[in-house]
């Protein structure tokens, strides 16, 4: 037992002292979680992201019972005000100054859009007012058919495209309000809809909650597929393992010590990712149930044994890294970590259903209540366990301490 | 019977084949306790394969090993508990500290010396907290010896312990080896340095093409050459008749790689004749030395080749 603990400690010391290892084991997953959460986690939510837009109202006639153009402008004005102090408004609006020529203002704002300083420029058309109401009453058509809004966007700008979809949703809401105003739409007759997250305990889950299990599994995956064979094969190539060979240390004891060190490293990695998600991004999932813990442990062990498998079939460290890269793509991208697997062609589904990542990702999300049950729990446990048995069998037969002569 | 009890190891009919290559071809030898036993031979002679079998790194195809009074086909874990091995080309994790390396290896054995004692034996106390990657070649080799001694072994394998070391570091290593023998340890040594083998060895076994061609103490082996004295000089312009002439002055004469070696039992007479020959033929006796025969000469006598060829 003493030898196993010393090997585990040696593995940890080496990992923490080697900058490259430290980066891939600890810094990279934290970096990935931060980047993904910052980019996608707050998209379209007021208070967390803000788009700079311009609203140009070309309608100057405010006569009549309802000033439609002013209402539309008002809605965007409202979204341009933060609902809570200290938060950014969803839109930062730019208006023409008093007496400014509208055509000149529009031209200047379109240039700002082209340069990426605006996410969109909205133009309320001339005549979008009392005349519009009369036309609507007369022809029975909708406001959008009678006076088209113009939304200028910059096609190559991601922020511009995101802002457009939000603007269209707002305009759709305005459309319903207009129809209700002229008596052609009853709110109570509308099909009720509500968007809710299906989460553990009925809690509302954020994007970071959805992302967190995937990032943790991906961290274990990279540790296992690249870190494990890298450590073993580079030690073998440098003839470090030869020295163990002439002592009473056995291969099973060495692998037990290595595994203990590796799983401790995974635990540290998990703790850091979890704390970052919890305290910096306000994740709500806790993993504090037996099933999520079981799936996390199963994931770490599965990828660890895949690492042993690679180390046992590769003749050199470089060959090991090449095999890890070959396995990396199908396992990572055909495991349901990043996109749904339902619509894939049959030949790819074969890989999906043989891939342990599929079952580990599903199982972990199911056990956390993030995802419905696609596979049964026994199946999500059995497939990774089968892979573990296979990898250990191959490693026990083929893993060599010394470079081949 | 008493003599049997004094043996640390007995090897009988040891064989190891790699396809058609007979790496080790039926060798037998015995190693007394508290002695330094040296295996000499050129590259490919079968030294490393023999050592790896005795260290338990690989099994033999045939033969028997008796060590610590136990007869074995292959070295077991229990035997490894009492052995220490310095490999020729092993390394350590560069990001571990010296003390961590010693503790790591100590943990593999049931019985181990304290880390401080191991580091004191190899004079590395001041490097206790240094990372392996910062050690010099000599310090690394001393650490490797320390690791080989961590279990206070009775039998120690040292595979080319001084290769690549500077003269001072080599002398330090010699001192460590003689101290170990004085403490009653048995040492199996391989080396490329003849003077090292002669200075340290109690017994020498010379291998060539997988077989043992000579064994005995260095004195016994060199005495095979009789009472000769060796005269050597360098030249690049010797003809066949010159060599025949030189041979007539002494017992034998050879030219190998620009070095002419003349063996004689009458040094003064041979020297007078050689000086006269040099003047007459106008061939300078560059770097001429006179010395007693060594193990290199024994190998040359037995095989017609130099050890380092």
Show me where the domains of chain A are located: 2-41+206-398, 51-200
Q: Give the pLDDT score at B10.
A: 93
CA–CA–CA angle A202, A204, A209 (5° rounding): 110
Q: Which residues make beta-bridge pairs with A54? A: A94, A121
Q: ipTM surpassing 0.85, yes or no? A: no
Rg (CA), chain B: 23
Least confident of A365-374, B23-32, B49-58: A365-374
* Minimum distance, in Å, between the CA of residue A262 and any CA atom of chain B: 16
Interatomic CA distance for residues B154 and B185, integer angstroms: 5
The closest of A310, A301, A270 to A286, measured between CA atoms, is A270
Q: Give the pLDDT score at B1.
A: 42
The residue-averaged pLDDT of B175-180 equals 90
- Domains of chain B are 4-220 (3.40.50.300), 227-292 (3.30.70.980)
Collect all residues from B whose CB is shorter than 8 A from any CB in A.
55-57, 77-78, 80-81, 83, 85, 87, 89-93, 95-96, 100, 103-105, 107-110, 131, 144, 147, 157
Q: Is pLDDT above 70 for B181?
A: yes
State whether B147 and A245 contact (CB < 8 Å). no
The pLDDT tens digits for B199-208 are 899 999 999 8
State whether A14 and B83 contact (CB < 8 Å). no
Q: Give the pLDDT score at B151.
A: 93
Q: Give the pLDDT score at A199.
A: 42
Q: Is pLDDT above 80 for B307?
A: no
> In this complex, how many residue pairs, one in chain A and one in chain B, have their CB atoms less than 8 Å apart?
69
**Of the partner residues B81, B95, B100, the one whose CB lies closest to the CB of residue A18:** B95
| Of B30 and A330, the one with more pLDDT | B30
Question: pLDDT band at B173, cuts 50/70/90?
Answer: confident
> With a cut of 70, which residues of chain A have pLDDT below it?
40-49, 61-67, 79-88, 130-147, 156, 158, 181-205, 337-343, 371-373, 402-405
How far from A142 is each of A147, A201, B201, CA to CA, in Å?
Answer: 9, 43, 107
**Of the partner residues B56, B92, B108, the one whose CB lies closest to the CB of residue A240:** B92
* Minimum distance, in Å, between the CA of residue B266 and any CA atom of chain A: 51
Q: Give the pLDDT score at A130.
A: 65
Per DSSP, B132 falls in state G
The answer to whether the predicted template modeling score (pTM) of the entire model surpasses 0.90 is no
Q: Give the pLDDT score at A146.
A: 55
Would you call A353 an interface residue with chain B, using a CB distance cutoff of 8 Å?
Answer: no
- DSSP-derived 3-state class of residue A123: strand
Q: Give the pLDDT score at B192.
A: 79
* Minimum distance, in Å, between the CA of residue A327 and any CA atom of chain B: 28
Q: Give the pLDDT score at A284.
A: 84
| Percentage of chain B lying above the pLDDT 70 cut | 97
Is there a contact between A174 and A141 (Cβ–Cβ < 8 Å)? no
Q: Give the pLDDT score at B157.
A: 93
* Minimum distance, in Å, between the CA of residue B292 and any CA atom of chain A: 39
Question: pLDDT band at B13, cuts 50/70/90?
Answer: very high
* Minimum distance, in Å, between the CA of residue B197 and any CA atom of chain A: 24
CATH class of A51-200: alpha beta
Q: Closest-CA residue in chain B for A231?
A: B93
State whether B107 and A246 contact (CB < 8 Å). no
Would you call A247 an interface residue with chain B, using a CB distance cutoff of 8 Å?
Answer: yes
Q: Give the pLDDT score at A83.
A: 56
The closest of A219, A198, A388 to A296, measured between CA atoms, is A219
């Amino acid at each position: 037992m003493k030898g196993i603990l010393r090997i585990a400690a040696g593995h940890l010391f080496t990992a923490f002292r080697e900058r490259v290892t430290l980066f891939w084991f600890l810094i990279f997953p934290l970096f990935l979680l931060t980047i993904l959460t910052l980019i996608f986690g707050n998209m379209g939510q007021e208070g967390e992201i803000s788009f700079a837009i311009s609203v140009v109202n070309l309608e100057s006639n405010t006569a009549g019972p309802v000033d439609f153009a002013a209402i539309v402008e008002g809605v965007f004005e409202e979204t341009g005000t933060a609902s809570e102090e200290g938060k950014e408004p969803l839109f930062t609006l730019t208006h023409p100054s008093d007496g400014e020529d509208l055509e000149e203002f529009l031209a200047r704002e379109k240039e700002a859009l082209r340069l990426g300083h605006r996410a969109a420029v909205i133009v309320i058309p001339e005549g979008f007012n009392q005349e519009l109401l009369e036309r609507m009453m007369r022809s029975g058509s909708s406001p959008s058919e009678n006076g088209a809004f113009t939304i200028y966007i910059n096609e190559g700008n991601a922020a511009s495209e995101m802002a457009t979809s939000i603007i269209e949703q707002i305009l759709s809401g305005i459309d319903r309000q207009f129809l209700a105003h002229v008596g052609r739409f009853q709110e109570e007759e509308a099909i009720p809809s509500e968007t809710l997250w299906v989460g553990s305990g009925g809690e509302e889950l954020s994007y970071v909650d959805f992302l967190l299990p995937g990032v943790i599994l991906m961290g274990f995956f990279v540790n296992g597929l690249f870190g494990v064979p890298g450590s073993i094969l580079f030690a073998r190539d440098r003839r470090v393992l030869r020295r163990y060979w002439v002592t009473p240390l056995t291969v099973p004891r060495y692998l037990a010590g290595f595994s203990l060190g590796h799983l401790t490293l995974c635990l540290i990695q998990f703790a850091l990712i979890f704390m970052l998600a919890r305290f910096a991004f306000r994740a709500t999932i806790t993993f504090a149930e037996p099933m999520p813990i079981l799936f996390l442990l199963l994931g770490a062990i599965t990828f660890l044994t895949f690492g042993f498998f690679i180390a046992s079939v590769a003749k050199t460290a470089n060959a090991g890294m090449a095999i890890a890269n070959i396995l990396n793509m199908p396992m990572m991208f055909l495991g349901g970590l990043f996109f749904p697997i339902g619509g894939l062609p049959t030949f790819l589904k074969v890989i999906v259903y043989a891939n342990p990542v599929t079952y580990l990702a599903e199982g972990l999300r199911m056990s956390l209540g993030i995802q419905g049950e696609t596979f049964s729990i026994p199946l999500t446990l059995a497939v990774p366990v089968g892979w573990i048995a296979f990898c250990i069998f191959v490693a026990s037969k083929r893993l060599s301490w010394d470079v081949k002569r | 019977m008493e003599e049997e009890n004094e043996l640390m190891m007995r090897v009988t009919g040891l064989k190891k084949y790699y396809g058609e290559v007979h790496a080790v071809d039926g060798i037998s030898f015995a190693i007394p306790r508290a002695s330094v036993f040296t295996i000499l031979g050129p590259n490919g002679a079968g030294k490393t394969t023999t050592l790896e079998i005795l260290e338990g790194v690989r099994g033999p195809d045939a033969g028997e090993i008796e060590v610590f009074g136990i007869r074995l086909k292959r070295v077991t874990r229990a035997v490894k508990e009492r052995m220490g091995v310095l490999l020729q080309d092993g390394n350590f994790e560069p990001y571990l500290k010296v003390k961590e390396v010693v503790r790591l290896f100590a943990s593999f054995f049931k019985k181990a010396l304290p880390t401080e004692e191991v580091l004191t034996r190899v004079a590395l106390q001041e490097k206790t907290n240094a990372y392996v990657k910062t050690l010099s070649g000599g310090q690394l080799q001393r650490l490797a010896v320390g690791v080989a001694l961590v279990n206070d072994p009775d039998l120690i394998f040292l595979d080319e312990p001084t290769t690549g070391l500077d003269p001072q570091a080599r002398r330090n290593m010699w001192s460590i080896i003689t101290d170990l023998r004085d403490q009653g340890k048995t040492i199996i040594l391989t080396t490329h340095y003849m003077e090292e083998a002669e200075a340290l060895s109690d017994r020498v076994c010379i291998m060539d093409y997988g077989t043992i061609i000579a064994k005995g103490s260095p004195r016994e082996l060199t005495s095979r050459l009789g009472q000769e004295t060796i005269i050597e000089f360098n030249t690049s312009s010797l003809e066949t008749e010159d060599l025949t002439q030189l041979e007539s002055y002494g017992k034998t004469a050879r030219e190998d790689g620009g070095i002419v070696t003349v063996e004689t039992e009458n040094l003064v007479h041979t020297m007078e004749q050689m000086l006269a020959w040099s003047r007459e033929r106008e061939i300078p006796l560059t770097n001429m030395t006179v010395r007693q025969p060594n193990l290199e000469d024994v190998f040359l006598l037995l095989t017609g080749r130099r050890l380092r060829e």
